[in-house]
Amino acid sequence: MQRDEDAQLVTRLAGGDETALEPLYEHYGKLVFSLALRIVHDSATAEEVTQEVFVRLWRSAASFAAERGSVQTWLLRITHNLALNEIRRRQSRPVAADHFDWTVEGTLLVDSRQDGDPALAAWLRERAASIQHALAQLPEAQRKAIALAFFGGLSQAEVAAALGEPLGTVKSRIRVGMQRLRDLLLADGIDAHSLEASTYENER
């Protein structure tokens, strides 16, 4: 199982075995890079973030191995944090640039040739498609407010300012949009009540 394999790799990392990093990069490098790119909108910066994420993984391996959490969940959270830090540091918030269309670009950009673990890669593609599908069913205004907050690192007030909408409108779009996403994901068979259920390992 993926989880056991990852856990063994992290245990090796924790013991100072650097060679365990390459298989972990094979499994998750693309996922980390893709999320970083989604947030920073720049390939060179996304590469920087990816490097930093794996250095963090190396240095946190000991405490991480003890917690026995999911590597994928942990990597995504760290990537999200570091990528948002990066855009805040540069203060070049990609507000206007966030005209991202999941439905189109999502499928076009997928490249399955470099995947280290075909089963994991297939699962990730399927899961990404499923989330993208749910997002695509939201009204544009709700999707945009959620994306600006979550991938742009903006507060609700900043989202309102960026869109030129009243704060109350933005707040309700975020609430209604999130509720709708929850319903769609539940209907799609994803157990939104359990964080761990959203990872590859637990679904197999």
Binding residues for another protein restricted to 98-127, rule: CB under 8 A:
102, 105-111, 113-114, 124-125, 127
Which residues 67-86 are close enough to bind another protein by CB under 8 A?
A: 73, 76-77, 79-80, 84
Q: Which is nearer to another protein, 1 or 157 (CB)?
A: 157
Which residues 128-167 are close enough to bind another protein by CB under 8 A?
A: 128, 131-132, 135, 146, 149-150, 153-157, 159
State the helix-helix crossing angle for 118-136 and 21-40, rounded to 10 degrees.
Answer: 20
**Is residue 22 a contact residue for another protein (CB under 8 A)?**
yes
How far apart, in whole angstroms, are the C-alpha atoms of residue 2 and residue 4? 6
Q: What is the rounded radius of gyration, in angstroms, for the C-alpha atoms of the chain?
A: 18
How far apart, in whole angstroms, are the C-alpha atoms of residue 162 and residue 148? 9
DSSP one-letter code for 97: T
- Token duo for residue 18: 């650097």
How far apart, in whole angstroms, are the C-alpha atoms of residue 63 and residue 89? 28
**Is residue 27 a contact residue for another protein (CB under 8 A)?**
no
**Is residue 59 a contact residue for another protein (CB under 8 A)?**
yes
- Contact pick of 15, 67, 195, 204 for another protein (by CB under 8 A): 195
- Contact pick of 38, 71, 94, 138 for another protein (by CB under 8 A): 38
